[in-house]
Amino acid sequence: MDSPCHPEEREARRLLAWYDLNARRLPWRSPPGTPPPEPYRVWLSEVMLQQTTTAAVAPYFARFIDRWPTIGELAAADEADVMAAWAGLGYYSRARNLVAAARFVARRGGFPNSEAGLRELPGVGAYIAAAVAAIAFGRRAVVVDANVERVVSRLFAIAEPLPAARKAIRTATDSITPAESSGDFAQAMMDLGATICTPRAPRCLLCPLAPDCAARAEGDPARYPVKAAKKTKPLRRGRALWIARNGAVWLVRRDGETLLGGMRALPGDGWSAQADGEGTPPGDWRDGGTVRHGFTHFDLELTVLVAPEDATPEGAGEWWPIDRLGEAGLPTVFAKAARRALT
DNA sequence: AAGGCGTGGGA
DNA sequence: TTCCCAAGCCT
């Protein structure tokens, strides 16, 4: 059984053997070698896991599965309910696309089982299509996420910086992806990246691929993957309005597909103003304090302005009971502002 | 193709 | 505190 073989098979064998003993147990996953979870669960977990930690996803995944156990039930849901259930997880376009994709799949009569078919779902890109095809449908697919980029760039000592190195990384990943068990292989690569081949201080002594690892041979595996320098995040200032009356607060819904689009929110300015102090509020508004919040591409310093008792809101919105504010599905930045206003 | 798009946790 | 980062996608 240990007949001479291609080096690429050697890596997959070592990794799969390691995975048999070391696979993380996660709510959306079946143990190695057992039948895969339903495509719905695999897809839902992959969408939630984009740029998001397993610890953050776990409670959301449980709540979604409990409330919408099948793709058909999710397809029939009100989008507003899904958005509210997504609140706090971030990247809200994922929730908008989730509903659209669920309806697409339900109308179609089931999930596509090929990468190309999966790519047609809104919110499904190269990574998720490959992951679902491999994990849920047992297809051979080249699954490349940030973990795989790290593992593979070290394994092959790919010195080209990201993102330009993506093509070389994909080719290298393809070369070690086995024909069978490619779902387990993909999950094994991700587990290896999450627990052993970590961004800092990789635990090479525990790594099943250490004998094959070019970066390890060089002596400084943590220098891979090489990344382009990142830009500094600008600081924006903005205001949120706390307009309360009879135990209720005035909430609006942000429209469009831009920042926090589709989510409930406190009314306010656009945060686009570089300078604070513009549009000074009427003197009878009270300064409710300031919260800081970091977004992907800018930091926000948000001042909460508390309205006088007789203030009248303008435009579309709704009065929301303050004692049930937790159910409003406010994005974290507004949850912070509300907490500040209430202290 | 480079930038928009959230959030929380760890070092 | 600050920085980096986590199962990316879309335009």
Q: Does the domain at residues A7-223 carry the CATH identifier 1.10.340.30?
A: yes
Q: What is the pLDDT of residue A280?
A: 63
Q: What is the pLDDT of residue A245?
A: 94
Q: Where do you find CATH 3.90.79.10 in chain A?
A: 235-341
User: What are A216's two structure tokens?
Assistant: 């390890």
Backbone angles phi, psi at A248, to 5 degrees: -130, 155
Q: What is the pLDDT of residue A269?
A: 84
Q: Verify if strand C has an atom below 7 Å from the CB of A133.
A: no
A56 closest-nt by C1' vs CA: B8
Residue A67 β-bridge partners? none
Q: Which CATH class is domain A235-341?
A: alpha beta
Q: Where do you find CATH 1.10.340.30 in chain A?
A: 7-223
Cα A177 from chain centroid (whole Å): 25
Q: What is the pLDDT of residue A249?
A: 97
Q: Verify if strand C has an atom below 7 Å from the CB of A43.
A: no
The distance (Å) linking the CA of A55 with the C1' of C5 is 14
Catalytic residues of A: 46
Q: What is the pLDDT of residue A273?
A: 46
Residue A205 gets which letter from DSSP? Answer: G
Using DSSP, state whether A67 is helix, strand or coil.
helix
- Residue in this structure with the two tokens 């591409």, named with its chain if needed: A297
Q: What is the pLDDT of residue A2?
A: 40
A331 closest-nt by C1' vs CA: B6
Q: What is the mean pLDDT of each run of 10 residues along chain A (343 residues)?
A: 56 96 96 94 98 96 98 97 97 97 97 97 98 97 97 96 94 96 96 96 96 96 92 91 95 92 92 56 85 94 92 92 96 96 90
Q: What is the pLDDT of residue A7?
A: 56
A190 closest-nt by C1' vs CA: C7
**Which CA distances in Å does A326 have to A21, A29, A165, A230, A322?**
41, 30, 43, 36, 8
Under 8 Å CB-to-CB from A146, ≥6 apart: which residues?
Answer: A193
The distance (Å) linking the CA of A13 with the C1' of B6 is 38
User: Do the bridges between strand A318-321 and strand A299-306 make them parallel or antiparallel, or are there none, so unpaired?
Assistant: unpaired
CA distance A20 to A184: 9
Q: Which residue is nearest to nucleotide B6 (CA to C1')?
A: A90
Largest Cα span, chain A: 83
> Are the C-beta atoms of residues A131 and A141 closer than 8 Å to each other?
yes
> Are the C-beta atoms of residues A224 and A155 closer than 8 Å to each other?
no
The distance (Å) linking the CA of A297 with the C1' of B7 is 13
b/e burial code for range A6-34 (CB count within 10 A of at least 16 → b): eeeebbbebbbebbeeebeeeebbbebee
| Direct distance between the N- and C-terminal alpha carbons of chain A, in angstroms, rounded to an integer | 68
User: Do the bridges between strand A264-265 and strand A248-253 make them parallel or antiparallel, or are there none, so unpaired?
Assistant: antiparallel
> Are the C-beta atoms of residues A43 and A215 closer than 8 Å to each other?
no
User: What are the helix (H) ranges across A37-165?
Assistant: 39-49, 54-67, 71-75, 79-86, 93-108, 115-119, 126-135, 146-155
Encode pLDDT of A7-26 as tens digits.
568 999 999 999 999 999 99
User: What are A6's two structure tokens?
Assistant: 């291609």
Whole-prediction pTM: 0.94
Using DSSP, state whether A235 is helix, strand or coil.
strand
Residue A156 gets which letter from DSSP? Answer: T
CA distance A63 to A58: 9
Complete DSSP assignment for A254-300? --SSSTTTT-EE--B--S--SSTTTTPPPTTSEEEEEEEEE-SS-EE
The distance (Å) linking the CA of A296 with the C1' of B5 is 7
Residue A221 gets which letter from DSSP? Answer: G
CA distance A142 to A160: 20
